[in-house]
Amino acid sequence: MSDTVTFEDLAREWARQGAAASCAAQACALDVRAGLEPPLRAEALRRGARGLRVAARLLSRLAPDVAVAPFRPVGLRGAIAAGHVALAGGRFAQAELVGRGAAEAAPRSPAGLRLVGQALFAQGKFALAVRALRGALAAGAGDPFTRALHAEALWFAGERGAARRALASGRAEAGPLAAALEAAIRCGALEGAGGGGCG
């Protein structure tokens, strides 16, 4: 039997702690805030609310719902885990929507934007992935994994020099993804990859 914990395991655990109801309640709060904002901001908040409702549905399928827990940390972690379940299942647009919802509900947490960046990258929207991952880094995700994701998105968006600089800046604590990316660049394995992507 494996000791590996999957995102589905994590999502199921957060669902047992009330993450589905928490995400649904936070979606309602975003809808209320949208009614008080100018049109462009209101649309972003409504899109975030839709993402959290998707997360609530995904979580409610994994475990019976319990009382509403505070959105942070239970709902946020549940939403991110549910988004990663969607990402792993190839439902990239759904994962992006959930990530946007988490980012709207908890703007100081980099987890939502990191998920958005991963989902955009998976859709081949490399320039947009760069922007989302840059936002995750600005929100405090200085971890090697996020920096490596950002460098990879830069490379595939055609920003080769910036990708090399991003990898070099985090070399001291580079994780396995950064090391693998750096090795692939060094040996030329990614020379034909990327080149802009849509976005």
Which pLDDT score, from 0 to 100, does residue 191 have?
76
CA distance 120 to 129: 5
Reported as half-sphere exposure (CB side, CA atoms, 13 A), residue 65 has a value of 18
Least confident of 41-55, 133-147, 185-199: 185-199
CB 102 within 8 A of CB 51: yes
pLDDT in tens, 74-110: 888 999 999 999 999 999 999 999 999 999 999 888 9
Confidence of residue 23 (pLDDT cuts 50, 70, 90): very high
pLDDT in tens, 146-158: 989 999 999 999 9
pLDDT more than 70, % of the chain:
87
Which pLDDT score, from 0 to 100, does residue 16 have?
87
Nearest to residue 151, comparing CAs of 172, 135, 133?
Answer: 133
Reported as half-sphere exposure (CB side, CA atoms, 13 A), residue 69 has a value of 18
Nearest to residue 104, comparing CAs of 52, 174, 167?
Answer: 52
3-state secondary structure the chain: CCCCCCHHHHHHHHHHCCHHHHHHHHHHHHHHHHCCCCHHHHHHHHHHHHHHHHHHHHHHHHCCCCCCCCHHHHHHHHHHHHHHHHHHCCCHHHHHHHHHHHHHHCCCCCHHHHHHHHHHHHCCCHHHHHHHHHHHHHCCCCCHHHHHHHHHHHHHCCCHHHHHHHHHHCHHHCCHHHHHHHHHHHCCCCCCCCCCCCC
Which pLDDT score, from 0 to 100, does residue 1 have?
45
pLDDT in tens, 54-79: 999 999 998 876 666 666 678 889 99
Which pLDDT score, from 0 to 100, does residue 82 have?
95
Nearest to residue 138, comparing CAs of 128, 153, 150, 126?
Answer: 150
**Average pLDDT, rounded, for the chain:** 87
pLDDT above 50: residue 134: yes
Higher pLDDT residue, 128 or 199? 128
Which pLDDT score, from 0 to 100, does residue 182 have?
81
